[in-house]
Amino acid sequence: MSETIDEEPGNNNYGFHGIVNNSGEYTTGSDEDFSKYLLDRMKQLESRNTMLKEQCGQIESEKRFMESQKLKYERESQRLQSELDRLKSVPLVVANVVDVFDDGRVLIRSSTGPQFLVKASPELDEDLLIPGSRVALNQQTLAVVDVIPVSDEPVISAMEVIESQEVDYSQIGGLDDQIREVSESVELPLTRPESFVRIGISPPKGVMLYGPPGTGKTLLAKAVAHRTNATFIRVVGSELVQKYIGDGAKLVRDIFEMARKKAPSIIFIDELDAIAATRLNDTNGADREVQRTLMQLLAEMDGFDNRGDIRIIAATNRPDVLDPAIIRPGRFDRVIEIPLPDQTGRESIFYIHTDRLSIDGDVDLAKLAKLTEGASGADIGAIVMEAGMFAVRQNNDSISMSNLVEAVDKVISAPDIINDPSLQMFS
């Protein structure tokens, strides 16, 4: 037997350097030995090549499998995410965590009292689920879908608290009578309480402003707060009962508590109809929630001294649906209509909104007021803003009458305005 050697530095280009014969001596070998070596080497390389090709094929098919798995999981994850978003977007019930068990179940207490043993969504960070934390539950399954961060506590997010208001009566157009009435019933009891004591009458506890949207109800409430240096606390009725179900009554308590702490204060309840609509006999869960919130509001109103330094103003666009209990004496006993502005009102609102702007000398506010019959103060604000945008787009230095007429058309979509012959001079 002879053994090929290729460790030694070679004398050919194939890595063949010689053989060791049967006597153990090294020899460079014959041509035959060299051919045999090449043949063996070729076979070796071919089989290695085949093996590597197989491995490569195997890895390729594993890669394809992994890619299809990845695609499948991505789709699954998207589906779960949209399911989760959907669950989170429906109104959620707020509850407190009482205990968390090892098997992932959570004992919660709803704000209306009963306790439930529920599951937590797997997406939730378990570390945040601790006894005492506030959580949001899916309304149907009661699964915990979110942990409410401390800064998102309903009492804070449900109300807007502004300690000093910038709005003044002079920024409200066309509501002189209403300003006087609100001032008498809200401002005087706060600024001159002794006058009421002297005469022996009680000021109204609550004032209700009703009228179409955008007519200045919120503006009026803010202006009163400014005049009295009172803290302005604004809550929206629909949010109290729809955003954090089960918490409406507690929120009402918290709001009055906050008003007492920050007194003198004005609580402004926007969309009062969402919590004070006429009660039906056949009530479902959501109606009961509304009722509980309203009962708490009435209890708070009945409980506080109307000579104190908390005033309540409510606003609604739907006075027709209100529960009569809400306007009983000692509650919202002063009801003030805030109507759409008339010609003079619209003119003064145009004046207020254009006063600080750069406008052309020929701008005719009376004409604009005439063109905007049926428009609210908010519509007029939007018209002026839109006219300003037209002027900016045209690179002008000031707002022209034609900018305003065009804006009227855009905001209140009244096509006849453009065809009105008396306005041709402005277009």
> Which of 97/209 has CB closer to ligand ATP?
209
> Which of 270/347 has CB closer to ligand ATP?
270
> Which of 19/236 has CB closer to ligand ATP?
236
The least CB distance from residue 278 to ligand ATP, in Å, is 20
Q: Which residues contact 343 (CB under 8 A, 6 or more apart)?
A: 366, 369, 370, 373
> Which of 335/349 has CB closer to ligand ATP?
349
| DSSP β-bridge partners for residue 268 | 234, 313
Residues in touch with ligand ATP (CB under 6 A): 172-175, 213-219, 270, 315, 317, 349, 352, 377-378, 381
> Which of 120/369 has CB closer to ligand ATP?
369
The least CB distance from residue 87 to ligand ATP, in Å, is 30
Q: Which residue, 388, 342, 373, is CA-closest to 175?
A: 342
The least CB distance from residue 314 to ligand ATP, in Å, is 11
> Which of 29/174 has CB closer to ligand ATP?
174
Q: Which residue is nearest to ligand ATP (CB)?
A: 377
Q: Which residues contact 419 (CB under 8 A, 6 or more apart)?
A: none
Any idea what the Cα angle at residue 263 is, between residues 261 and 268, rounded to 5°?
A: 105
End-to-end CA distance of the chain: 113
Binding residue positions for ATP? 214-219, 353
The least CB distance from residue 316 to ligand ATP, in Å, is 8
Contact 120, 107 (CB under 8 A): no
The least CB distance from residue 277 to ligand ATP, in Å, is 16
Contact 91, 139 (CB under 8 A): yes
Q: How far apart are CA 182 and CA 168, in angstroms?
A: 13
Q: Which residues contact 94 (CB under 8 A, 6 or more apart)?
A: 110, 111, 134, 135, 136, 137, 148, 154, 244, 245, 246, 247
Q: How far apart are CA 322 and CA 140, in angstroms?
A: 29
The least CB distance from residue 182 to ligand ATP, in Å, is 12
> Which of 16/350 has CB closer to ligand ATP?
350
The least CB distance from residue 272 to ligand ATP, in Å, is 10
Binding residue positions? 214-219, 353
The least CB distance from residue 299 to ligand ATP, in Å, is 26
Is 149 in a helix, a strand, or coil?
A: coil
> Which of 383/391 has CB closer to ligand ATP?
383
95-100 long-range contacts, Cβ below 8 Å, gap at least 24? 95/134, 95/135, 95/137, 95/246, 96/132, 96/133, 96/134, 96/135, 97/129, 97/130, 97/131, 97/132, 97/133, 97/134, 97/135, 97/144, 98/131, 99/131, 100/126, 100/129, 100/130, 100/131
Q: How far apart are CA 280 and CA 67, in angstroms?
A: 58
Is 252 in a helix, a strand, or coil?
A: helix
Largest CA distance in the chain: 138
